[in-house]
Chain A
Amino acid sequence: MIKVIKISIIIFICTLTHLTNAGSYQAGKEKSQVCAACHGVDGISQIKMYPILAGQHKNYLIHALSEYRSGIRDNVVMKGFAAGLSDQDIEDLSQYFSMQQGLKIPPLK
């Protein structure tokens, strides 16, 4: 009986951890103030050299930020910003920008 309770508690904690890791829109919004200077408050950048982030796929944004952080993708500006981000920060920011209205998948025809 005690074993069952123990296992249930472990599963519960794992679920909570997983949910936290999944990225939070609200946390992302708070962390995104630095990004807004170039990428726009709504994820639509006014400076055309910088990409629109609004509506981009979450796991693509995670990939891009991770590559900036590791230096695989070499960009002087983004390197500085990404260097200090934790995995959780990247999850949160990507969750936030992916949920904004913006980019779409192009039509096939």
Chain B
Amino acid sequence: MKSTLKFSTILALLSISCLTLAEDYSAGKTKSETCLGCHAIPGYNNVYPTYKVPKLAGQHADYIISALKAYQTKERKHQTMHANAMGLSEEDMKDIAAYFESLK
């Protein structure tokens, strides 16, 4: 009986974490639509100065969050990214970062 209970609890916890993960992914997918306009176009360039818009698929979520925060506080300079990061909540950043990290 005890082991059945333990097993059920583990299963329930696993299901919850799966649901949470799936939610992050799906929320992140929706929230990252704006990002795709620049980051998902092969060969797309930033100009003045010119360099290719960085690849994000497979990047660590923690790094993406720290980059977004640095843009939000303008500690890291980039006008377009300031505008895009300005309105993001902590939750938005986590969702977006989780989505890009999942694209390995």
Contact = CB atoms under 8 A, between A and B. Distances in A.
Interface of A: 45, 48-52, 55-57, 59-60, 62-63, 72-74, 102-108
The residue among A52, A103, A106 with the most chain B CB atoms within 10 A of its own CB is: A106
Contact of A103 (B36, B58, B61, B62): B58
Interface stretch (B9-17, B48-56, B83-91): B48-56
| Residue of B59, B62, B67, B103 with most chain A CB atoms under a 10 A cut-off | B59
Contacts, number: 74
Nearest to A67: B77
11 contacts: A48-B61, A48-B62, A49-B60, A49-B66, A51-B60, A52-B60, A55-B58, A104-B58, A105-B41, A106-B40, A106-B100
B50 A56 contact: no
Given A57-B55, A59-B51, A105-B40, A73 B77 contact: yes
* Interface size range on B against A: 20 to 34
A23 B32 CA distance: 34
A106 B39 contact: yes
Contacts of A102: 58
Contacts of B35: 106
Which 7 A-B residue pairings sit nearest by Cβ, starting from the closest? Answer: A57-B52, A48-B62, A103-B55, A104-B57, A59-B51, A63-B51, A106-B57
Contact of B57 (A59, A63, A105): A105
Contacts of A73: 76-77
Given A107-B40, A108-B36, A52 B51 contact: no
Contacts of B36: 106, 108
